[in-house]
Amino acid sequence: MQTVAFTRMEDGTRADYEFLDRLAEQQKESLVDNIMKELHALSGSFEGYQIDRLEHVIQSATRAYHDGKDEEYVVCALLHDMGDHLSPDNHSEYAAAILRPHVSEANYWMVKHHGAFQMYYYAHHLGGDRHAREAFRDSPYFDRTEEFTYHYDQNCFDPAYENLPLEFFEPMLCRIFAREPFGEHVHA
């Protein structure tokens, strides 16, 4: 297997970095496959709930799709809890970071902050502040995120709901992640 010769980045040559750039492009081409693997890894998790984490995100995306939400929104619904098993304390930020280069600022913000918004439905039962989302009241995306958590998150634990198959959403993932990064928030 070909590798670069350097052990410190500062010692790399133009040829080294052109080689690494080609490998990075290949990695980008397998991004959707890697996302699908991560989604499948959610299967069987969410102990205590009536459905697992994979079924939850599929149900979220299915509901958004049936409600006529655009493809980008549906993909955000599908990936919104992708980080739960790897980063439970900041799963919202994890999922948002994956989406950030390929979605609008509004959808990025919605995914990034949905964790604080979903606390409205349970935090008071555990001695927490169910109104934590109010810290974001001045955001232009507050209402969007409130709607998302109400219609496509807190209610997506229904084992009787007929989800679309995960594979139904794969072409949407391909289209969203094939986009060139856009918006100023990409480099912020």
- pLDDT above 70: residue 77: yes
Instruction: State what percent of residues in the chain have pLDDT above 90.
Output: 75
Instruction: State what percent of residues in the chain have pLDDT above 70.
Output: 96
Q: Which fold has domain 13-186?
A: Hypothetical protein af1432 (1.10.3210)
Return the domain boundaries, the chain: 13-186
DSSP annotation of 155 reads T
- pLDDT above 80: residue 185: no
Compute how many other C-beta atoms are within 10 angstroms of the C-beta atom of residue 165.
9
CA–CA separation, 20 and 22 (whole Å): 5
pLDDT digits (tens, 9 = 90+) for 138-159: 999 999 999 999 999 999 999 9
Report, as an integer, the average pLDDT of 26-41: 89
Q: What is the pLDDT of residue 183?
A: 57
CA–CA separation, 56 and 168 (whole Å): 15
Could you tell me the two tokens for 125? 């039962």
- pLDDT above 90: residue 166: yes
Could you tell me the two tokens for 147? 């709607």
Residue type, position 47, single letter: E
pLDDT digits (tens, 9 = 90+) for 92-148: 999 999 999 999 999 999 999 999 999 999 999 999 999 999 999 999 999 999 999
Residue whose token pair is 């070909």: 2
Helix axes 91-99, 71-79, angle to 10 degrees: 140
- pLDDT above 90: residue 83: no
